[in-house]
Amino acid sequence: MKKAVFLILILAAASTLVSSQTNRSFGWEGENFMLDGKPFIIRSGEMHYPRVPRMYWRDRFKKAKAMGLNTITTYIFWNLHEPRKGQFDFAGNLDVAEFVREAKEEGLYVIVRPGPYVCTEWDFGGIPAWLLAEKDMKVRTSDARFVAASDAYMKEVGKRLAPLEIDKGGNIIMLQVENEYGSFGADKDYMNAVKKQIRDAGFSGQLFTSDGSLDYMLKNGTLPDVLSVINFGVDQKASVAGVEKEFANFAKFRQNVPRMVGEYWIGWFDHWGKPHQTVKPEAVAEGLDWMLKNGISFNLYMFHGGTSFGYMNGANYNAKEPYQADTTSYDYDSPLDEAGRTTPKYFALRDVIKKYLPAGETLPEVPANAELIEIPKFDLRETADIFQLLGKPKSSHEPLSMEEAGQNYGFILYRKKLDKAADGELKFDLRDYGHIFLDGALAGKIDRRLKQNALAINAKSGATLDILVENGGRLNFGKDFIYDRKGIFGAVTLGGGDLEGWQIFNLPLNDLRRLKFKKAAAKPNTPTFYRGTFDLKALGDTYLDTRTWGKGHVWVNGNHLGRHWKIGPQQTLFVPANFLRTGQNEVIVLETDAVREASLTGIKHQIFENQ
């Protein structure tokens, strides 16, 4: 009898515990968000798990909490989670469920923005490039093929994150439907399809859309039964007036709903060849103060930007410049810099938030910043020609785009043996940077940024024409981004006539083990790999100083850091400690232009300057 009573008590206690963990709610009433039935101001900061090494997630969460944030917002990156159709990856740095759980352990709620499109200066806005293998594919539309593909992806996200919603004992309080769709289109069938995908994936929580505050953006990008928030940046000359104007625009569209800035742009991103972008802390703080004084929720974009490692940077365009590639660094002039260290902007915003904390809430002490390490100068004396990596080619009557050739990122080589002598203009649509060779000798370069699409050549009959093309990152924003296939798109003409009969070599550069290095000078005007080593007794984060190099990519112990380019503004590459090891470390640099000095140094700070 005693055992039975004891068992009943245990079951009752367990039931109470489960109930206390799951009997929570988040929604809205009137102008207030409601958390567990009480008004709640969302104080959020954006941070993306792929841009921050997993070992540092918790440190960044602690710093978010100490700054006064109560929520973290993140996109979900479809192209990383489904790198090939039907093959999903949520391991290691892509374990977004662990990211959410760690945020909860540090006392933070989470807002999830699953896409399928996410923008965020990320290659193709986070949409998998393999979708572009079909020439007539229309992403971000009701195209049945795209909807089916995104539905399969969303279900995989739901398996991992739907159980972590707040009413199920987790900490996810809201989910975004698509992303700034009003700046792109007006297909309500598509928007409703995305909404349905999120629900079908198992998510039951609060949904919202996020758009600019202009009338057409809100009209096109929202749904009548879904909350709407607005995105905007800081006007440094009149920050408060600018914020007031944004919400006045929103008030013309909807009233008696919670007001929130879904992306409060407190910094900005960098394009190669353009000045480094910054926003004054004082202007950001003034705008935030006005919002908190008026009971408005916010999401700082970005609280911590981090790094778009590897090939993941995106690109933009405008009427004057057809292609503006983003840098690898996503520092964004954020409150935490690329290495996760607090900045003056961090403390300026912390001071504002402290003024508006609810009664009884205090801020933790700010965690100390990790000390970066220096690496003495070391030379890269060994070299290897990029043409070593040529494998078996594909044959095609006309050039195939990179995607049609079964490749997503990296370089691709187009080879043609000329049937007759030629003295004329070689013309084609190249995306995005190309080296043209005749019988192995460099004939010239083409840069899409500069609207270049032709080169005058003089070739003899039987000469071998090679066109080596680098994918500089797909467009991630605008109405034309959906057409941004890479490599050569369309026909190649020489002297007005089509060149046909091509050999196409894939060069994704995702495995450099086949390279055979030797201590020898690089062949002039030929893209070349350089290799060197350095020793470490203790590990730490560092920045590699790339100012003596031209243009290319860097790998440390097989980890692809990203791109370097002498035109700046980025002149350093962040190396997190988890990419390093005690003892000997290997560095490989692909240099596609010209190197002034084949050496590197590890330093403790970023360098932003243009050459």
Measured CA angle at 478 (ends 426, 117), to 5 deg: 115
pLDDT at 21: 55
Report CA torsion sign: 62, 66, 70, 76.
Answer: negative
Whole-angstrom Cα distance, residue 317 to residue 183? 14
Whole-angstrom Cα distance, residue 590 to residue 585? 17
pLDDT at 422: 87
Find where tokens 């290997």 sit.
586
Phi, psi dihedral angles at 598 (to 5 degrees): -85, 70
Whole-angstrom Cα distance, residue 553 to residue 309? 11
pLDDT at 22: 67
Instruction: Give every residue of the chain whose pLDDT is below 70, as ranges.
Output: 1-22
Total length of the chain: 611
The pLDDT tens digits for 242-287 are: 999 999 999 999 999 999 999 999 999 999 999 999 999 999 999 9
Phi, psi dihedral angles at 224 (to 5 degrees): -65, -30
The one catalytic residue among 82, 106, 178, 180: 180
Whole-angstrom Cα distance, residue 325 to residue 402? 18
HSE of 331, CA atoms in CB hemisphere, 13 A: 27
Whole-angstrom Cα distance, residue 356 to residue 106? 21
Tally Cβ neighbours within 10 Å of residue 30: 9
Find where tokens 């439907």 sit.
177
Q: Strand 375-379 vs strand 464-470: parallel, antiparallel, or unpaired? A: unpaired
pLDDT at 135: 85
Chain CA centroid to CA 502, Å: 34
The pLDDT tens digits for 291-308 are: 999 999 999 999 999 999
Q: Strand 572-575 vs strand 71-75: parallel, antiparallel, or unpaired? A: unpaired
Chain CA centroid to CA 311, Å: 10
Tally Cβ neighbours within 10 Å of residue 601: 18
Burial class (CB in 10 A: 0-12, 13-18, 19+), 37: exposed
180 as an active site residue: the answer is yes
**Closest CA relative to residue 112, chosen from 208, 191, 226, 212:** 208
Whole-angstrom Cα distance, residue 179 to residue 173? 17
Tally Cβ neighbours within 10 Å of residue 190: 21
Name, in order, each residue with C-beta under 8 angstroms of 296's C-beta and a sequence gap of 6 or more.
41, 247, 259, 260, 261
The one catalytic residue among 246, 263, 382, 591: 263
Packing angle between helix 281-293 and helix 344-355, nearest 10 degrees? 20
CB burial readout 247-263, b (16+ within 10 A) else e: bebbeebeeebbbbbbb
Name, in order, each residue with C-beta under 8 angstroms of 306's C-beta and a sequence gap of 6 or more.
47, 48, 51, 52, 330, 338, 340
Whole-angstrom Cα distance, residue 240 to residue 349? 15
pLDDT at 238: 84
**Closest CA relative to residue 574, chosen from 341, 377, 309, 334:** 309
Decide if 408 contacts 510 (C-beta within 8 A): no
3-state helix vs strand vs coil in the chain, percent to 5: 25, 30, 40
pLDDT at 611: 85
Domains and CATH numbers, the chain: 26-355 (3.20.20.80), 375-384+516-603 (2.60.120.260), 398-500 (2.60.120.260)
Q: Where are the alpha helices (DSSP H) in 254-378?
A: 281-293, 344-355
Cis peptide before 191 (omega within 30 of 0): no
Whole-angstrom Cα distance, residue 467 to residue 72? 45
pLDDT at 237: 81
The dihedral region occupied by 5, where left means phi > 0, alpha psi between -120 and 50, and beta the remainder, is: alpha
Phi, psi dihedral angles at 360 (to 5 degrees): 90, -10
Phi, psi dihedral angles at 455 (to 5 degrees): -150, 130
Whole-angstrom Cα distance, residue 308 to residue 575? 12
The end-to-end CA distance of the chain, in Å, is: 84
Whole-angstrom Cα distance, residue 227 to residue 243? 20
Decide if 472 contacts 483 (C-beta within 8 A): no
Task: Show the tokens assigned to 604.
Answer: 């403790």
